[in-house]
Amino acid sequence: TQLLEQSPQFLSIQEGENLTVYCNSSSVFSSLQWYRQEPGEGPVLLVTVVTGGEVKKLKRLTFQFGDARKDSSLHITAAQPGDTGLYLCAGGDNYGQNFVFGPGTRLSVLP
Amino acid sequence: NAGVTQTPKFQVLKTGQSMTLQCAQDMNHEYMSWYRQDPGMGLRLIHYSVGAGITDQGEVPNGYNVSRSTTEDFPLRLLSAAPSQTSVYFCASSYLTGAYNYGYTFGSGTRLTVV
């Protein structure tokens, strides 16, 4: 069974600070996705990375897929209260028919 | 665009009762799946389907049945509810584009309590 670990589990920071959250596994994934989930809602896709070493930017969010395709990081620059939520990573096998989700990092950005 | 629609949003069942959680998508996605989300355990795959008439089991399939008679609908049936099935259930769909799944669209969830 493929397992994903995420760290930290909880993170509370002040508006304007930078932060990085991590997603790690001992398994190799064909692709990896990051989602953000707000209370009472389903997860919303932020990004998909498919190539080892790939870096993608989405405004103030920077996503990196590890060279060995076993880990990933999400860096947020100048965090804002609107970034508050549960950040989930998900790793997929070939053809994306079985995605494994990590337990998430719960981020709170205080004004 | 409605996306993925789940009904009901909330449900309370007594132990032993059965029910069906509904999921419909209007994006012509081939792939549909059901996850359950429990505190500290992330999302766990229950069942999935890669097209009408094709279903398969995920990580935690026991106590649940699915069928896929149309591309749009993927209902999840609880056969005999147990307190361990208390959870938040999410339906998700996506295109299948060969080697990669480029991302799920999730519904807003059904919060189920079994007493």
CB B81 within 8 A of CB B13: yes
pLDDT for residue B1:
63
pLDDT by residue, tens only, chain B of 115 residues: 679 999 999 999 999 999 999 999 999 999 999 999 998 778 999 999 999 999 999 999 999 999 999 999 999 999 999 999 999 999 999 987 766 677 899 999 999 999 9
Of A94, A96, A101, the CB nearest to B43: A101
Contact (Cβ atoms closer than 8 angstroms) between residue A73 and residue A12: no
The pLDDT score that the predictor gives to residue A96 is: 61
Write the DSSP assignment of chain A as a string of letters. Answer: ----EEE-SEEEEETT--EEEEEE-SS--SEEEEEEE-TTS--EEEEEE-STT-EEEETTEEEEE-TTSSEEEEEESS--GGG-EEEEEEEE-GGG--EEE---EEEEEE-
Q: Do B42 and A103 touch (CB under 8 A)?
A: yes
Written as one letter, the residue type at A96 is G
Identity of the residue in A48, A50, A104 whose CB atom sits nearest the CB atom of B42: A104
- More confidently predicted of B97 and A72: A72
Looking at the predicted structure, is the pLDDT value of residue A90 above 90?
Answer: yes
Q: Do A94 and B99 touch (CB under 8 A)?
A: yes
> CA end-to-end span of chain B, whole Å?
36
Q: In DSSP terms, which residues pair with B32 in a beta bridge? A: B49, B93
Transcribe B47-87 into DSSP letters: EEEEETTEEEE-SS-TTEEE--SSSSB--EEESS--GGG-E
Kindly list the residues from chain B whose CB atom is less than 8 angstroms away from the CB atom of residue A40. Answer: 108-109
- Whether the CB of A48 is below 8 Å from some CB of chain B: the reply is yes
φ/ψ of A22, rounded to 5, equals -125, 150
Helix (H) and strand (E) counts in chain B: 0, 11
**What tokens does A110 get?**
């205080």
| Residue A95 confidence (pLDDT) | 62
pLDDT value at residue A23 = 97
